[in-house]
Amino acid sequence: MVRIQKRLLIPLLGATLLTATGTTTWALEFHGRSSTQYLWFNSVFNGKKQAEFAQLLSFALTDIDKEKKFSVHGYGRISQDVMNGDGFDGRLFYFYADYRDLFDKIDIRAGRQFVNYAAGSALVDGGMVDLKNVGPIAFSVMGGRNVLYGIDRELTRAGDTVFGAAATLVGYPATDAEISYFLKQDSNGVARETIGAMFRQYLFGGLKLYGNLRFSTASETFEEVLGGVKYFVNENLVVTGEWFQSYPTFDYTSIYSIFAVDRYQEGSFRADYTINDMFAIRGAYKRQDFGEMTVGDVFEAGLKVRPIPNLMIDLAYDRRQGYAGSLDGVTLDVQYDHTPNLQLAGGMAYDVYIKDRMTNRTTSQSYWLGTRYKLDKNMSFDLRVQDNVDVWKFKHDWSGRVAFNYDF
């Protein structure tokens, strides 16, 4: 974290000017992370080897005003291909100004920001206003340009906009609830209109009930429904039961909206048990329903072992059978804290699967190694190398990343 004393005129990224008069001073805080990376991988389109340099920067500028209500936040990435001539690419994930507690009731956020309501989410070039401290319900409204990114460029076109509003229950520590509205438009008009709701309730100190749903007003169907129960039996045992339903829908203006789709449903049960400081086990079962009498069953089991305080071994097995073939898979993850400044890690995944009765049994494997070294409290070095072996696409798909991180 960097603390900068400012007097009189403060330029804020060339956009905001604040003035302090007389002898009054205050501390402007600028903190975040810079990550300089070199990455190599195989293109998913043509299998060619690719490599690029990338620079990521996230930051927060706070304590700009005396009351510490105003702040600016940003996160972006630039990259340069160094192998296939794909050139330079840049993405701004968010960059917004945030002013809180106006009249002790209003929060205002303006700029590129990610907005997430139960009814929908979007990356927006626009504004968001929250009204609070007016009773048990807080209100939110947002709107602006809908920012859409493809694999290699921004896809936003003229007329791409979003609007949303939400009402949230506040002041009840054991209860969370929201109802919201989301509207998406493009050059052809209304593309998507949904209503959403979210609910969480804590009971008896160890029981959590939760649910989410999203309803499309055009197709008059529930796009997603989730209901769950989590029970903390004691400090060592947690059991979870969930039911999930998804019905794929497309933008009203998309050609894909005319195609028929099937509803997907899933019921699951999971238990996590910590035996002691050395051993923890977990198990889960899922029943998958893809529609028209096509179902699948998934069984999962896991064991986490910490034989010594600075070594963790996580072993998992999963088996799937039913629709779309069968699968048996094993994953292994190992993490070792050699010193407080040096961490080593590695792992593998091995899958055996049969797509249908007409195909033979095939396998795929994944192997990876990684390390993190802290040069000091603000600087660290990361390395990760992975090899994927898949008979369908790559015999050896090598990828990796080297990163130098600086926290300020």
Q: If you write DSSP's letter for every residue of 344-357 in order, what string do you get? A: EEEEEEEEEEE-ST
**pLDDT tens string 252-300:** 888 877 777 889 999 999 999 999 999 999 999 999 999 887 899 999 9
**pLDDT tens string 212-249:** 999 999 888 999 999 999 999 999 999 999 999 999 88
CB-neighbour burial class of residue 17 (10 A; exposed 0-12, middle 13-18, buried 19+)? exposed
Give the pLDDT confidence score for residue 80 in this predicted structure.
93
- Which of the pair, 311 or 151, is modelled with greater confidence? 311
Cβ atoms of 100 and 130 closer than 8 Å: no
Q: pLDDT above 70 covers what percent of the chain?
A: 91
pLDDT higher than threshold 80 for residue 64: yes
pLDDT higher than threshold 50 for residue 15: no
Q: What is the DSSP string of 38-74?
A: EEEEE-TTT--EEEEEEEEEEEEEE--STTS-EEEEE
Cβ atoms of 182 and 119 closer than 8 Å: yes
Give the pLDDT confidence score for residue 375 in this predicted structure.
94
Give the pLDDT confidence score for residue 21 in this predicted structure.
37
Q: What is the DSSP string of 297-343?
A: EEEEEEEEEEEETTEEEEEEEEEEEETT-EEEEEEEEEEEEEETTEE
Calpha distance 245→261 (Å, rounded): 13
Calpha distance 395→392 (Å, rounded): 8
Least confident of 163-172, 190-199, 299-308, 361-370: 361-370
Q: pLDDT above 90 covers what percent of the chain?
A: 72
Calpha distance 56→405 (Å, rounded): 9
Cβ atoms of 105 and 138 closer than 8 Å: no
